[in-house]
A and B are shown apart, each in its own frame.
Chain A
Amino acid sequence: MRGHGFLLANYAPGESLIHRAPLWLKFMVVVSCGMASFLIVDWRLAAAALALMCTLFLLSGAGPARLVRAVRPLLPVLLAIGAFQWWQLGAPVAARIVLNVLLCVVAASLLTATTPLQRLLDGVVSLARPFTRFGADPERFALTIAIMLRSIPFIAGAYADVRDSARARGLERNPRALVLPVFITTVAYARHTGEALAARGLGEPEDSRPGDG
């Protein structure tokens, strides 16, 4: 199985100001960019915000290649959305929508590229802690998010592998030859991941302490 990047950039170790910035601040930047996509109505302002976010990404030292890898998988979808919006609502609105989506993706990538995953998970645990009174387990919540982040590139990789083997047998136009093996591989991956986590004692309820039972 090959590894694939998908949407958000992988962590790039570094000592930049952005790397050292508190997690809450980086998280607020992501939230603000998400809010901005509703509030910004001028495509030029959206372009300026995107340019600023790209500059911050490059200043962090994560590198242009990582930025391109994070954005590239989204481009076909954005192209389709942009073309449809242009046809329906005109060029300025289409540009604003596409630029705002890109802004959100680059902001989220800035967060993931400058924050180790474990620190992100610690942040998720802190956010989820108030819900413990309702029976939630913050560690399990964080683990679920970590597994989700890990699974997206795996499924993308599984699709690429299956597509190559379908091509090798001249079956690239057969949807069954593409979808079914990806589905089976994904289910097998989910089982393996569950087993690997169980073997390491992860994801088990906190209340089953040693000696219980």
Chain B
Amino acid sequence: MSTISLSGVGVRVVVDSHPEPKVLLQNVTLSLSERRIGVIGANGSGKSTLLRLLNGLVAPSEGSVTVNGSDTVRHVRAVRQQVGFVFTDPLSQLVMPTGREDVELSLRRSVRNGAERRARADAALARFGLLPLGDQSIYELSGGERQLLALAAVLAVEPDVLVLDEPSTLLDLRNRELLRGTIAGLRQQIIMSTHDLELALDMDRVLVVEAGRIVFDGGAAAAVAHYRSLCAAGLEIPRGAGADGGDAR
């Protein structure tokens, strides 16, 4: 398994209408090496920012993030070869008109030979049962097929880590179960944010994020229970968060 380390990470952005920078994440120190890691929390809590740090899509304002020792700012290319990223909305991610073309686009940097690239793209599509749909417009695919296609396009380059930002949010129950089964069968280390607490319960370790802080870090069942208690308390962060079973790292 890969090891991702966040050391004293904070993320701030300047917003035009505010005199002070807005704090998206603060003082996050983590070491992520488990096979399945979930991130849960309310909308706007900082989950997506946390995930984007891992692929170098967001640079920390303070502290550092490393993936197997490669800094996400200084060695961004090396980091992105190791960490694949799946967005919530696959249409934001699929940039080519058809599935086969999109998967081939992912492979352009690593496979120069056109015939080999096409064969590898077909293999990636076949793995997810998408080969018959490879030449269809991405707009003609269902939401579930698009999400699987986005997954196929990312996994075609064989990253070691797969980061998924709320991958089931736009899916119906059937497609959600399909995605859940697919994710469970992957060899990659998975780090996934989700509002789907059932999906979160499949994880080995779950982080609860609230107001830009990790307020709980521990086993899935305890983390989900903690998140439920937060919601029940009107999302007020209890004092000494992380003390009831998990570690506030």
Chain A interface residues toward B at CB < 8 A: 1-3, 10-11, 13, 116-119, 121-122, 139, 143, 146-147, 149-150, 153, 192-193, 195-202, 204, 208-213
Are A201 and B135 closer than 8 Å at their CB atoms?
Answer: no
Of B57, B104, B114, the residue contacting A199 (CB under 8 A) is: B57
Checking B56, B92, B137 against A10 with a beta-carbon cut-off of 8 angstroms, the contacting residue is B137
Are B78 and A211 in touch, CB under 8 angstroms?
yes
List residues of B (20-72) whose CB comes within 8 Å of A's CBs: 55-57, 70-71
A201 touches B95 (CB 8 A): no
Structural contact, B108 and A150, CB atoms closer than 8 A: no
- Interface-central residue, B84, B93, B95, by most chain A CB under 10 Å: B95
Q: A118-B114, A200-B106, A202-B105 are in contact. Are A212 and B77 (CB under 8 A)?
A: yes
Shortest Cβ distance from A1 into B: residue: B91
User: Which residues does chain A contribute within 8 Å of B139, judged by CB atoms?
Assistant: 1-3
Complex Cα distance A11/B220, Å?
Answer: 46
Bound: A205/B157 CA distance, A: 18
| Contact among A119, A147, A210 with B81 in the assembled complex (CB-CB below 8 Å) | A210
Question: Known pairs A200-B105, A200-B153, A210-B77. 13 more at Cβ < 8 A?
Answer: A1-B91, A11-B97, A11-B135, A139-B109, A193-B92, A195-B57, A196-B94, A198-B57, A198-B80, A199-B84, A204-B76, A212-B77, A213-B71
Q: Is the CB of B96 within 8 A of A117?
A: yes
Residues of B within 8 A of A (CB): 55-57, 70-71, 74-78, 80-81, 84-85, 87, 91-98, 100-101, 104-106, 108-109, 114, 117-118, 135, 137-140, 153-154, 157
Q: Can you report 14 residue pairs joining A to B where beta carbons are below 8 Å apart?
A: A3-B140, A122-B114, A143-B105, A150-B97, A153-B97, A193-B92, A196-B93, A197-B95, A200-B80, A201-B77, A208-B76, A208-B77, A211-B75, A213-B71
The answer to whether A201 and B108 touch (CB under 8 A), given A150-B95, A196-B92, is: no
* Closest Cβ neighbor of B75 among chain A residues: A213
Taking the nearest CB of chain B, how far is it from the CB of A179, in angstroms? 23
A210 to B74, CA, bound (A): 10
Write the nearest CB–CB distance from A99 to chain B, whole angstroms: 29
Residues from chain B with Cβ under 8 Å of A209 in the complex: 77-78
- Our pick among A118, A139, A201, A208 for the contact of B101 (Cβ within 8 Å) is A118
Would you give the shortest CB distance from A147 to chain B, in whole angstroms? 7
* Complex Cα spacing A3 to B98, Å: 11
Residue on A nearest B150 in the bound complex, by CB = A196
Contact B95 A119 (CB under 8 A): no
By a CB distance below 8 angstroms, the chain A residues around B70 are: 210-211
Q: Report A143 CB to chain B, min CB distance, Å.
A: 8
**Nearest-neighbor residue (CB-CB) of A206 within chain B:** B109
- What is the distance, in angstroms, from B60's C-beta to the closest C-beta of chain A? 16
Contact B96 A150 (CB under 8 A): yes
Which residue of A117, A202, A213 is within 8 Å of B109 (Cβ)?
A202
